[in-house]
Structure 1
Amino acid sequence: MVPLQGIRTLSELSFGDEGDLFLLLSAKESATTRAGQPLWLLTFRDETREIEVAIWADSPWFETCQRDWKIGDFFKVRASLRDSRWGPTLDIRKIRPVRESDREAGFDPAKYLSASPVAQDQLYDELRKLASERMEPSALRNLTEHILEQERDTLLTLPGSRSYHHVYPGGWLEHTRSVAEICLFLADQYHRQYPDLQPPLDRDLVLAGGILHDIGKLRELDCSPVQTAYSADGALLGHAILGRDMVREAAQATGLSGERLLRLEHIIVSHQEAGENGASKPPMFPEALIVHYADAIDTKFAIMRRILVEDRGDGPLTSDRNLLRHALFRGSGQVAD
């Protein structure tokens, strides 16, 4: 075991290392084992990464956790990092709430409020420009701009998801800008490649769908600086249906109607994988197919990046206990000639 080295971050720990850490409790759920024993599933995070910890019924921290530990609380923790069947976790040796005196050791609560690496205002402005400068004047453009203008303040802090990808304030904007740019690239590519397509590829519909595909997350997620949870509407309906509802409401205010509105609604309800991921229909025309795959590649690329950044193993492969459920190859680190 590596000796203690003062206050460390989660990303600095390798398996077997023990360190003192300042951590934020960002999620807490009660659960039971297969044998019916209670446990708490916790998520701690610092400015570098987050990690899940199980507090079992026989843990010395179980009763204190149940009674006193609250989401949004900060702790000073002495723990070692180890790999478990569910992925990296911490074995806690000591834990207590942070004190004012901990600031002298470098504790700063502002570090734990993660956000997109790109400024939210910049992301929002770039997304607005995609709508205002890359779409032709139409009711479709009016609807897209109307929603972005109406929801600006919330979009600046909205995460991309609760726990899957872009899970930080501004994550929705970061993901959506990327999806919209991918949509434009693919729409231009296939418009050139298949000029005989009937009906012709609707480039503006692809872009509007890319911008609005996840707009229902405004109603699906309840967010605070330290926690994102599902709203009742989100849990019962999901963001695809809620997004279609928002588009229908905006259509009444902006005059979009007819088949173009129907196609935009279909893009929103079909953009995810079918089944448990939420789509009620598969993509049924080319514009919907483009948005579906633009969303999928950006989502999975963000997840893959997160795994490669956070996995602390030594070998050429990461652990397979991650959101993708398979190992990633990072190589030997040697550069070939």
Structure 2
Amino acid sequence: MRKTIKINELKAGGTVDDLFAVRLKKSIGPYKGGTTFHLWVSDPGGDISLKYWGDKDNVAIQKIWDGISKGSVLRVKGRVNEYNGSLELHVNPTSGDSITVLDEGDFDIRDFVASTPMDIEQMKGHLFSVIRKIDDPWLKEALSYFFADEEFVRNFCECPASITHHANWLGGLLEHTLRVVKLCESYCQIYPDLDRNLLLTGAIFHDIGKLRDYKVTSIIGSTDEGRLIGHLVIGAEMVHDACRFIEGFPSELSMKLQHLVLSSHGTTEFGSPKVPMFPEAVALSLADLTDTRIEDMIMVKSNPNTEEDWAQNKSVGSVYLR
């Protein structure tokens, strides 16, 4: 079975018979009509709350609940309701609604995890063109440590850039990295005192920790390592290991590369263990923020889920849609 509608296309008051991936199991418990449970489900159109309103057959409902896990793909027959300004899926078996857990092979993974609309091979070629123009021998060797490895390149080109925000699709990391690189190239033209080799290498490296932070099944999720340590620290560790592997690599340059990764979110409020402490680190953090914020706002404007002139989003705040 293939999906026919995305979450951002659902309308209040309508019915639904489609496939959704489970992002989160919330709770199960009694209500006046029997037993209810709550899930968050997703597809490339976003996330939505799903509430199952069961009857008093607690054993049967518990069996359904136990058969569902994070990443399960469900066939959901139900209604689309609006509650507190947000859409929800409501499943009421007494009205003929149902939830069915699909087996692997009964669905197409491409229906749940989107892919970049850009040409992967073209983007990869652009990235390698930037790498070839790095003329500092130590930085070129550090880049080669990663990008001469075919498996690393394949994983880098397939990795998403986020779980729920900007470029949260296959190939998103490559797409985001290239935009950050382009912004950094423009900074170097405006501010010629910036160390171009260092800044562009840092731009290429800044999110490599996401290769170990994220895992992709029917949803984009986080690994235990990603949740406990985070992609910035993981990425700095990967860069540190690469520099240690290269005989004679300058220790100060290694520290600068690690700092570029660790400070790339700009502030501790945004998750950076360190704030930028030299000009190239400031430039990289601003390029990363620029791409992230613009992409997030474009996504809200492209999928407003409202007929009003304004949309409210928890990540970017108020967005004017006209």
The answer, yes or no, to whether TM exceeds 0.5 is yes
Cα offset for 1:32? 8.8
> In structure 1, the residue corresponding to 2:319 is in which secondary structure?
coil
Structure 1 pair 310/244, CA: closer, same or farther in 2 (3 Å)? Answer: same
Unaligned runs of 5+ in 1: 1-6, 192-199, 332-337
1:27 maps to: 23
* Distance in 1, Cα, partners of 2:268 & 2:102: 47
SS at 1:328 equivalent: strand
SS at structure 2 position matched to 1:162: coil
Q: Give the CA deviation at 1:119.
A: 3.1
Amino acid in the other structure paired with 1:111: D
What residue is the counterpart of 2:9 in the other structure?
12
Match of 1:238 among 226, 230, 241: 230
Using the alignment, how far apart are the partners of 2:269 and 2:164 within structure 1?
16
Paired positions, count? 300
Q: Which amino acid aligns with 1:225?
A: T
> What's 2:162 paired with?
161
Q: 1:165 to 1:41 in 2, by over 3 A?
A: farther
Distance 2:159 2:46 in 1: 19
Choose which of 250, 275, 284 in structure 2 pairs with 1:282.
275
Instruction: Between 64-73 and 228-237, report the one with greater CA deviation.
Output: 64-73
Corresponding residue number in structure 2 for 1:116: 116
Amino acid in the other structure paired with 1:50: G
Change beyond 3 A, Cα 1:160–1:112: same
Bigger drift between 114-123 and 259-268 goes to: 114-123
Partner of 1:4: none
How far off is 1:83 after superposition?
Answer: 5.5
Distance 1:74 1:245 in 2: 38
SS of structure 1 residue aligned to 2:307: coil
Deviations 1:193-232 (A, max 9, x none): xxxxxxx4201111011111111112222x1331333223
Among all aligned residue pairs of Structure 1 and Structure 2, give the percentage whose two residues are the same amino acid: 21
C-alpha contact (below 8 Å) 1:8/1:21 kept by paired residues: no
- Correspondence for 1:219 among 212, 231, 235: 212
* Counterpart mapping for 1:127-146 below 5 A: 127-133=127-133, 135-146=134-145
CA 1:109/1:147 → structure 2, altered by over 3 Å: closer, same or farther?
Answer: closer
CA shift in 2, pair 1:285/1:238, >3 Å? same
The structure 1 segments of at least 4 consecutive aligned residues displaced by more than 6 Å after TM superposition are none
| Cα deviation, residue 109, structure 1 | 5.7
Match of 1:249 in 2: 241
The 1:29–1:8 alpha-carbon spacing in structure 2 relative to 1, beyond 3 Å, is closer
Instruction: Quote the residue 2:260 is aligned against.
Output: 267
Could you say which residue in structure 1 is the equivalent of 2:178? 177
Structure 1 residue 181: Cα displacement: 1.0
Contact 2:38 2:50 in 1 (8 A): yes
Q: 1:189 corresponds to which residue?
A: 190
Deviation, structure 1 residue 64: 5.8
Aligned letter for 1:119?
A: D
C-alpha deviation, 1:51, in angstroms: 2.2
Match runs of 1:283-302 below 5 Å: 283-302=276-295
Give the alignment's Cα RMSD to 1 decimal.
Answer: 3.0
Aligned equivalents of 1:121, 1:81: Cα separation in 2: 42
1:209 maps to which of 197, 202, 206: 202
- Could you tell me which residue of structure 2 aligns to residue 3 of structure 1? none
Give the 3 Å change call, closer, same or farther, for CA 230–308 of structure 1 in structure 2.
same
Q: Which residue pairs with 2:67 in the alignment?
A: 68
User: Which has the higher mean CA deviation after the structures are superposed, 108-117 or 209-218?
Assistant: 108-117
TM-score of the two chains, using structure 2 as the length reference: 0.81
- Structure 2 unpaired stretches of 5+: 30-34
Q: Is the 8 A contact 2:213 2:231 kept in 1?
A: yes
In the alignment, which residue of structure 2 is the partner of 1:322? 314
Contact in 2 for aligned 1:244/1:269 (Cα 8 Å): yes
Paired amino acid for 1:251: C
1:185, CA displacement in angstroms?
A: 0.9
Cα distance in 1 for partners of 2:136, 2:78 equals 59
Q: 1:81 to 1:116 in 2, by over 3 A?
A: farther
Distance 1:273 1:166 in 2: 19
Equivalent position SS for 2:181: helix
Q: Structure 1-normalised TM-score?
A: 0.78
Q: Which residue of 2 aligns with 1:306?
A: 299
Partner SS for 2:65: helix
Q: Which position in structure 1 is the counterpart of 2:32?
A: none
Instruction: Please give the alpha-carbon distance, in whole angstroms, between the structure 2 residues aligned to 1:12 and 1:228.
Output: 20
Deviation at 1:281, TM superposition (A): 1.5
